[in-house]
Amino acid sequence: MSWLRGITSAVLSSTAKGGFSPRPKLPFRMLSDVRHPPAMLDRPKNQTHDRVWAKAIEETIERTAGTAQRAHTPTPDELWAQRSQSATFNPPADTYTGRRVFVTGDLGEAFRRLQTRLRRNRVTQEVSRQRRHEKKGVKRRRLSSERWRRMFANEVRKKVQLVSTIRRRGAY
């Protein structure tokens, strides 16, 4: 865009409107360059180069024509149906499926992993609770107490995190 170097912004804005301002003292050749940039003036008479580009553009348009219509975006219901067909949820093989640990090497390590998994799933608590029948009211009170203890522990955990955050910021 070296042909634009000598032209002021006033001339450019006036050319956009279609007229020329008489104020700038520019040579006529410079004004003709504004109307017809050098790239258009210096174009060779044969148009073979343009025909090659036009042909390539037409081929690209023909090749990609209609691809927007072909690309079908599935609805959420269709996605759900596709994923539910491909997902296979097999039931557990037996009653010990989640309570089984494979022993590779150390027997004590495998036993610790089994105890950890049983503790996390609260299997021993469930077994001890199922030894005797629990009345409906007793069960309701126990569940309410467990809920309360969980909420209380969560609130205490939040307060401890808040205090540690304040101490990290520089409070004593």
| pLDDT at residue 48, as a whole number | 65
Which ranges of 18-122 does DSSP label H, i.e. alpha helix?
A: 28-35, 38-41, 48-64, 67-70, 76-86, 107-120
pLDDT band at 32 (very low <50, low <70, confident <90, very high): very low
CA distance 122 to 116: 10
Residue 31 pLDDT > 50:
no
Q: What is the tens place of the pLDDT at every residue in 40-56?
A: 555 555 566 677 778 88
Q: What is the tens place of the pLDDT at every residue in 148-161?
A: 999 999 999 999 99
CA distance 26 to 117: 88
Other beta carbons within 10 Å of 21: 13
* pTM strictly above 0.75: no
The ranges assigned to domains in the chain are 2-61, 97-132, 144-172
Q: What is the DSSP code (8-state) at residue 84?
A: H
Sign of CA dihedral 113, 115, 117, 120: negative
| pLDDT at residue 33, as a whole number | 47
Residue 6 pLDDT > 80:
no
Which residues have a Cβ under 8 Å from the Cβ of 110 and sit 6 or more positions away? 101, 102, 103, 104
Residue 65, CA distances (Å) to 58, 61, 122, 141, 151 in order: 10, 6, 61, 69, 61
Q: What is the tens place of the pLDDT at every residue in 111-133?
A: 999 999 889 988 899 999 999 99
Q: What is the tens place of the pLDDT at every residue in 90-106?
A: 777 787 777 788 888 88
Residue 35 pLDDT > 70:
no
